[in-house]
Structure 1
């Protein structure tokens, strides 16, 4: 059994930080299940599949200044098929504009569901 949260770290640092939509889609094939569901909030339906998540990332990144990126606050943790990471978003070295936690369920070696818990400031 994998004892690191590498998939979830790859999701955040390699997919969500990448501003190239085509490259994100390629990385998603190795990290996300084809039918992955991303739950952004309890008030909205899930984004399902690589394309839907890729389009969401593109829309969000279009609102962010250059230099914005996700960084880990702590190393990721794993408990069987669940991975968790805490992160910050903003310009490295500046105060973050957001912090949060991502929780992922893993099935067949890929993230099958991803849940965002955004800290309220």
Structure 2
């Protein structure tokens, strides 16, 4: 399956890093990531679908009630794209914010770059 860059960004946010069901999360990872994908974030570099699955699961376990919400529409440029988001408990002020950048290849995520941002003021997570 080949998705648009905007769709990949949105699915990654909700169906990978926001997923509570590990089986569905893994199925989405297998569908939207290339086999040789790489995830870059401030604390490390993770290679391959297994590592992305492990990291996404660990993050969700640490904050099971947190949701990710885009604060702007995804943007596309060439084979890349970005989406800005906030995360936190529904109905409360966001706990943190970030921007995901991806490089796509053949309709899948080949590289994901996570940058943490300063929280925008004032925002509340929708219920």
TM-score by length of 1: 0.88
Runs of 4+ in structure 1 over 2 Å off: none
Is 2:113 the counterpart of 1:115?
yes
Task: Please provide the CA RMSD for this pair.
Answer: 1.7
Aligned residue in 1 for 2:29: 28
Q: What is residue 124 of structure 2 aligned with on the other side?
A: none
| 1:47-92 Cα shifts (integer Å, max 9, x gaps) | 111111111111112211x431111111101011011000001012
Map 1:38-77 onto structure 2 (within 5 A).
38-41=39-42, 44=44, 46-64=45-63, 66-77=64-75
Give the conservation status (yes or no) of the 8 Å contact 1:3–1:78.
Answer: no
In 2 relative to 1, CA 32–3 (structure 1 residues): closer, same or farther, beyond 3 Å? closer
Paired positions, count: 117
Partner SS state of residue 28, structure 2: helix
Unaligned segments of structure 2, at least 5 residues? 120-127
With structure 2 as the length reference, what TM-score do the two structures score?
0.84
**Displacement, 1:21?**
1.4
Alignment of 1:6-25 (within 5 A): 6-25=7-26
